[in-house]
Amino acid sequence: MQPFVFKQCTNILKATQRRAVTIRELMSGISEVSEASIFHHTYQYFLKGHMLEYTNDFAQWVGEALEEKTLSEHLAIIDPYAYDKIADLRTRLVGVIEDYLGHFPEPRPALAGNEFHFNESATIVFPTGIVAHNLAEFLQGLKYVDSSSIYYHFYEGRSRGVYGPDDFSTWLSEKANEPELSGRLRHIDPFMYDIEGMRKLIVQIVEQKVQKDMESL
């Protein structure tokens, strides 16, 4: 069996010097900033430790800084993992804001100090030193790795290369011969939990399988 090598990551933030004060400026920025910036404000949202009322930085700013709750809800239900290309996600974000402005053309601007700042980030990946050669070791790794490792393998893993399964479920199906367990992980909604909540759920699912295997010996 090919082992699972746990990795973790950290992000180095890079400012783009672009900001938005109004919803219209936010829409314009989303239309024009780099794909790296869109990725940072959507896919990498969970790495920032925010609460789950929002699922991306755009929704959070609209809801908290502008108090435009209806628009923030519409932005928050956009699932970035449903799009094969960031360009398609960008189009969806712009479309939702454009539709909102069609009904509410002059929402208030943000107060001074509450502007939205478009950023990018570079992901630095490094090994944790934890390697799993079987399911029991995999379970122990899940329990003790840094939370950024859970983010990197479960959340960012879904967006790496072609937008598909996370690293955990891929290893379980392709290397550990655990297709059923892999399927359970693949069907977890990434927006239902924060990173630590996700860790607990994955641990619970894998632990059930390990205990079942032990009982059958």
By the 8 A CB rule, do 58 and 73 touch?
Answer: no
What backbone phi and psi angles, to 5 degrees, belong to 131? Answer: -130, 135
Residue 100: which pLDDT band, with cuts at 50, 70 and 90?
very high
Half-sphere exposure of 155 toward its Cβ, with a 13 Å CA cutoff? 30
214: nearest Cα among 143, 138, 135, 142: 135
The predicted model gives 78-98 an average pLDDT of 93
Of all residues in the chain, the percent with pLDDT exceeding 70 is 95
Q: Which pTM does this prediction carry?
A: 0.83
* Alpha carbon distance 182, 176 (integer Å): 9
Beta bridge mates, 117: 19
pLDDT of residue 50: 61
**pLDDT tens figures, 17-75:** 999 999 999 999 999 999 999 999 998 887 776 656 788 999 999 999 999 999 999 99
Q: Which helix (H) or strand (E) holds 132?
A: strand 116-132
Beta bridge mates, 55: none
Which residue matches tokens 């909604």? 189
**CA-CA-CA-CA torsion for 144, 145, 151, 155, nearest 10 degrees?**
-80
What backbone phi and psi angles, to 5 degrees, belong to 113? Answer: 95, -10
Residue 162: which pLDDT band, with cuts at 50, 70 and 90?
very low
pLDDT of residue 156: 86
By the 8 A CB rule, do 24 and 101 touch?
Answer: yes
Residues 6+ apart with CB under 8 A from 185: 166, 168, 169, 172, 202, 205
